[in-house]
Structure 1
Amino acid sequence: MNVAVWTTGRFAGWRRVLLAAVICSLNAVAFAQTEPAPSLAEQRAQAVTQVVLGILSYARWPVEPAQLRLCVAGPTEYTDDLVKGTTQATGRPVLVRRLLADSPALATECDAVYIGKLSNEERARLFTSLSGRPVLSISEGGDQCTVGSLFCLRVSDDQVSFEVNLDSVARSGVRIHPSVLQLSRRRPAAS
């Protein structure tokens, strides 16, 4: 008789555990459904990250780094997602860190540089320090893609596109796959 009561009590205990698990699962589902959709700024940051990683995956350095070092210089609008660190589709990790625009480490400890808003003097000093070194540079802002950057991003509400400065690519020492150069020539579809 005691065994039957113990079994019934044990069964009731498992029912309570199961009921608690179901309630927790429902709460988790309800919580997941109430998470807000990413803001426009977050969507842009994610899109910029994808474009930057795409560009980096089609670049080849004279000596391929095991871990790609991407440095961010200057104030930026779209690097929130990028600075979290990431891995390329090939599995190569990308180490992202912020440096001051006049840091000597930009030329010696970076395989790629993501350039935010800089004064003309800061940009000139940065590109002078990168001259002759195999460093891929990507500019975020609306500057003309004629002032040293290899790639210049164009961020809009609908998409992220880029331009390529072929002269800078030729002088950089970094080889860029021709299909990326073709992508830069595509224009966004007219709305």
Structure 2
Amino acid sequence: MLSVLLAALLLSAGPAHADDASATAAQAQQRAKAVTQVVLGILSYARWPVEPPALRLCLVGPTEYADDLIKGNVQNSGQPLQVRRLLADDRQLADACDALYIGKLDLGQRDRLFQAISGHPVLSISEADDPCTVGSLFCLRVSDQQVAFEVNLDSVARSGVRIHPSVLQLSRRRAVQP
């Protein structure tokens, strides 16, 4: 009798767990789509000293939300977007990338990465939980409700990439609390 009850309990728990997993997967996919829109929006309002014919976006480090970025090959403005993954220690990073989408890196990797692009017009967007005080121009804040971002104005000023003022204003908006 106990084994029948246990089997019934396990069978009834299976579909609920599957529903939770599919809901979690759907939320993750929705977050990835939202991140893609925010990143493409940021890129469309950036200007480089010499406008590249196709913007080269490099993904660096393990990323959680970059899958949709890899799929897309055109920016919101219609400019072609070339996306590829590179290692954080790749010597060609500063010359091969106009923009970086940075995932999880340890402190040493981050330091070497930002030293490598220092003095080059490279826009950097950090996905990981970054305090946005050193290095990255933009730091994403991803939640189920929205994707927001912070701007490191010091890094923007030193990057050589011009960012439209309205994008900088957007970063000041706070999430509406439910």
The reply to whether TM is greater than 0.5 is yes
Q: Please give the TM-score of this superposition, normalised by the length of structure 2.
A: 0.85
Partner deviation per Cα, 1:62-113 (whole Å, 9 max, x = no partner): 0001100000000000001111132112210111000001001211110000
Is 1:184–2:152 an aligned residue pair? no
CA distance in 2, matches of 1:98, 1:42: 20
The equivalent residue for 1:47 is 34
The equivalent residue for 1:4 is none
Q: Which amino acid aligns with 1:66?
A: P
Is 1:157–2:162 an aligned residue pair? no
CA distance in 2, matches of 1:151, 1:89: 18
CA distance in 1, matches of 2:46, 2:115: 21
Is 1:132–2:119 an aligned residue pair? yes
Rg comparison, structure with higher value: 1
CA distance in 2, matches of 1:89, 1:99: 24
CA distance in 1, matches of 2:114, 2:94: 9
CA distance in 2, matches of 1:106, 1:159: 30
Superposed structure 1 runs of 4+ greater than 3 Å apart: none
Partner deviation per Cα, 1:31-50 (whole Å, 9 max, x = no partner): xxxxx997111111110000
Superposed counterparts of 1:81-92, under 5 Å: 81-92=68-79
The equivalent residue for 1:102 is 89
Q: Which amino acid aligns with 2:143?
A: S
Q: Which runs of 5+ in 2 are unaligned?
A: 1-21
Match for residue 173 of structure 1 among 148, 160, 164: 160
CA distance in 1, matches of 2:138, 2:73: 20
Q: Which amino acid aligns with 1:96?
A: V
The equivalent residue for 1:77 is 64
Q: Secondary structure at the match of 2:62?
A: coil
CA distance in 2, matches of 1:164, 1:86: 25
CA distance in 2, matches of 1:148, 1:172: 10
CA distance in 1, matches of 2:77, 2:168: 20
Match for residue 142 of structure 1 among 121, 129, 134: 129
CA distance in 1, matches of 2:143, 2:76: 25
CA distance in 2, matches of 1:126, 1:85: 25
The equivalent residue for 1:18 is none
Q: Which runs of 5+ in 1 are unaligned?
A: 1-35
